[in-house]
Structure 1
Amino acid sequence: MRKTAAKLLAAVAIATSVATVATGTAVADPAAGVTPAAQDIVGVGSDTTQAVLNQFSTDYNAFLGASSTLPRLYSWDSTGTSPLTTKTGATSINRPNGSSAGISALDASSKTTIDFARSSRGPKNTVGTTPGDPTTDLFVAFAKDAVSYATATTGSNAPVNLSKADLTRIYNCSALTWKDINASLPANPIKAYLPQNGSGTLSFFLSALGLTAPGACVQPTRVQENQGTDLLLADADAIVPYSVAHYIGQVYNGHGSGADQAGNVTIRSIDAVAPIQTSDNTLSPIFAATSFGRVIYNVVRQTNWLATDTQGTALRAIFGSNGWICKNATAAADIKSYGFLTLPLGACGSTTHSTI
């Protein structure tokens, strides 16, 4: 059983600090010409949390100061040049695109290559013949997100509100047209999209709908998660799951750039609950408390987490319950700026893992 997941999913708190995000612009990947040192704490994985981890990297390294000899924090985005050499002396790897891909890369390597995997999903237990995450991985919680669905901003045939039951029917293919959802809607075939394989949003969204796999009607082309700029999503009949926090960061807080923007889509309501509070354009705690709310994590190897060496100490100093992310006001401001909700003390930095 997941030791703390139920408590975490119920725990929602808005950041008490509204401090301005520290000076310095977060960049995708380590800055050009910078190769992290062998001792540095380096991560890969989730598209959903890559932007806030880039900001953490900028701000944590500034917190250490230029003269510090302690391990610094770096994060590689989900997409970009591949293969990549994550740190000095590391074996080159194919760039992991998504939470599950990042976790697999973490499990297939050592601290000489990867120290943590960004994950927008919780741990998976082994079910039947389907393998779960190794019990030697620890999922370290740091914030709260939610997933809703997005459609074309203008001209969409999809309603601006769907029920959880509607979404399940769409993705299990018992509803093939919009008219199957509501008799007043057009009979156009629904074009249901999902994120790329290896995406934490993919596995979380299907699980939230009670599905182990999508139906055969779901579009075979997978889209890069949280990129509303994809022209496939401008189609009047398109629908796709989307991180609410990532959308807020893109649209309201100026953190979208390049393909990583909301572009052609707008996020919608589920069961008549709006995912975004219109009063301040933040993630709605009410929506985050539904089955579409999710805790987000950084995944580490338990042996490295417990180690008393330089890197183990650094992992806890960054991600632990008494670490920089959970206790520093700048980190709390970063979490809010990128659209997420902070977790209360005791929940932030807590660890859980899969069991057989």
Structure 2
Amino acid sequence: MRHTAAKLFAALAITTSLATIAVGQASADPAVTPAAQDIVGVGSDTTQAVLNQFSTDYNAYLTGTGDTTSPRLYSWDATGTSPITTKTGATSIARPNGSGAGISALNSTTDSTVDFARASRGPQTGDLSTDLFVAFAKDGVSWAGNTGGNAPANLTTADLNGIYTCSITNWSQITDVPGYTGPNATIDAYLPQINSGTRAFFLSAIGGGTAVTPGSCVEAYNPEENEGTDAVFNDPNAITPYSAAHYIGQVYGGHTTSTDAPGYLDLRSVDGINPITSSNTLNPSYTSTAYGRTVYNVVRNAEWTGTDAHAAALKAIFGTTGWICKSGAADLHSFGFQTLPFGACGSTIHI
């Protein structure tokens, strides 16, 4: 079933439990300059909105307990003015856009500038052994097509592989989708920018675990991921990878801005499995396939395993018994993500 942009307006009638989460937290840099001791992150577009909400709620939790001294949590968006000065006393840096850029910023600075990187992918070749990936939620990556356009409601992995390697360039070549007869029209396939974790994960998923190299037919222009408001998507033949959790947060959680919204796009199925359930939540049957992914916050291993106040602050937020794993479920659900089981949330991996 297609989830059309019209359902964005239906999100105003979301359940009371979701309505308690503040709408309007989908995209926002810190409203104050974080203190030098605060825990500050950059990176992934996919998880920035939920990290912004975590920041609001965690800091309110500390204030509510009367704690005025513990480090607060802050997160800088993937896009916006650049450079940024992430905290008091920090060296200004170019704003990191995407998981890869966030991890690079983590590795090229100290905790006086960046404490963690948001990552919508796991460790990969090129990451440092000093990077520790701390798990916090589950997502699914699918694809989105122009609402009312020429793309079918479903594509197979073989179809997506063919489209992005350019062995399939016309909708008339899609012959394995029941009930679909594609028109004679050229497919306009887009990918997010090179540092995008969603891009990296999607290309690996459609390659059966080995990242495919995009063909020359793939559009050279790279729109911001998980945002269908770009004018290039006002095209009946446009398709692009899209985070299912981010889409659910936008459409059913009401977490949008003027740009961070589905816009011209709606989410589609892969291999006959809809990423979204009839209850408008992330489908476990989808996230159990190759298109399901864990999302992370990346920290420096030496700081995580330390015995000082900084290590304690990181674990108080991201650890297995930290605030996100114990108290972040409502935020995760509102922004479309699935929670991880006890022990999996806050678990760590590295190269």
Assess same fold via TM > 0.5: yes
How far the C-alpha of 1:20 sits from its partner, in A, is 6.6
| CA positional deviation for 1:68 | 1.6
1:141 corresponds in structure 2 to 135
RMSD: 1.4
Q: Which amino acid aligns with 2:50?
A: V
SS in 2 for 1:105: helix
Distance 1:25 1:266, change over 3 A: closer
Name the SS for the 1:268 alignment partner.
Answer: strand
2:96 corresponds to: 96
Deviations 1:168-212 (A, max 9, x none): 000011111111123931121110000112100010000111134
For residues 215-241 of structure 1, the C-alpha deviation after alignment (integer angstroms, 9 at most, x for no partner) is 111000001000011111121111100
**TM-score for the superposition, normalised by structure 1:** 0.89
The residue type paired with residue 58 of structure 2 is: Y
Q: 1:49 and 2:43 equivalent?
A: no
Question: Secondary structure at the residue paired with 1:269?
Answer: strand
**1:1-356 mapped onto 2 (5 Å cutoff):** 21=20, 26=25, 28-31=28-31, 34-65=32-63, 67-125=67-125, 132-154=126-148, 156-182=149-175, 184-210=181-207, 211-278=211-278, 280-328=279-327, 331-354=328-351
**Do the aligned residues in 1 keep the contact of 2:136 with 2:297 (CA within 8 Å)?**
yes
1:5 is matched with none
Report the Cα distance in structure 2 between the residues aligned to 1:288 and 1:23, rounded to whole angstroms: 26
Deviating more after overlay: 48-57 vs 307-316:
307-316
Indicate conservation of the 8 Å contact 1:22/1:59, yes or no: no
Secondary structure of 1:266 counterpart: strand
My pick for the range that moved more, 43-52 or 305-314, is 305-314
Between 1:301-310 and 1:283-292, the stretch displaced more is 301-310
Taking a change above 3 Å as real, the CA distance of residues 231 and 20 of structure 1, as seen in their structure-2 partners, is closer
On the 8 A contact 2:135/2:346 being kept in 1, the answer is yes
Contact 2:140/2:243, CA 8 A, preserved across alignment: yes
| Contact 2:21 2:334 (8 Å CA) reproduced | no
SS at match of 1:298: strand
Secondary structure of 1:59's counterpart equals helix
How many Å separate the matches in 2 of 1:297 and 1:106? 14
Secondary structure in structure 2 of the residue aligned to 1:283: coil
Residue type at the aligned position of 1:295: T
Task: Tell me the number of residue pairs that the alignment of Structure 1 and Structure 2 aligns.
Answer: 325
State the Cα distance separating 1:213 from its structure 2 match: 2.0
Give SS of 2:317's match.
helix
Residue 22 to residue 240, structure 1, CA distance change in 2 (3 Å): closer
Structure 1 regions of 5+ residues with no counterpart?
1-17, 126-131
Query: How many angstroms apart in 2 are the aligned matches of 1:51 and 1:213?
Result: 29
SS at match of 1:247: helix
C-alpha displacement of 1:327: 1.0
Deviates more, 1:225-234 or 1:135-144: 225-234
> Is contact 2:156-2:272 (8 Å) kept?
yes
Provide the identity percentage: 60
Q: Is the 8 A contact 1:20 1:333 kept in 2?
A: no
Name stretches of at least 5 consecutive residues in structure 2 with no aligned partner: 1-16
TM-score w.r.t. length of structure 2: 0.90
What is the rounded CA distance, in whole Å, between the counterparts of 1:300 and 1:21 in structure 2?
30
Instruction: Show CA shifts across 1:310-340 (max 9, x none).
Output: 2111001100011110112xx1100000000
2:154 maps to a residue whose letter is N
The Cα offsets for residues 63-92 of structure 1, whole Å up to 9 and x where unpaired, read as: 111652000000000001100000000000
SS class of match (2:312) = helix
> Partner amino acid for 2:143?
Y
Structure 2: how far apart are the matches of 1:25 and 1:166? 37
* Distance of 2:67 and 2:271 partners within structure 1: 53
CA distance in 2, matches of 1:91, 1:167: 42
Shift of the alpha carbon at 1:25? Answer: 5.7
Measured in 2, the distance between the counterparts of 1:41 and 1:308 equals 16
Shift of 1:345: 0.4
CA contact (8 A) 1:151 1:234 kept: no
Q: Are the counterparts in 2 of residues 57 and 74 from structure 1 also a CA contact under 8 Å?
A: yes
Poorly superposed stretches of 4+, deviation over 2 Å: 18-27
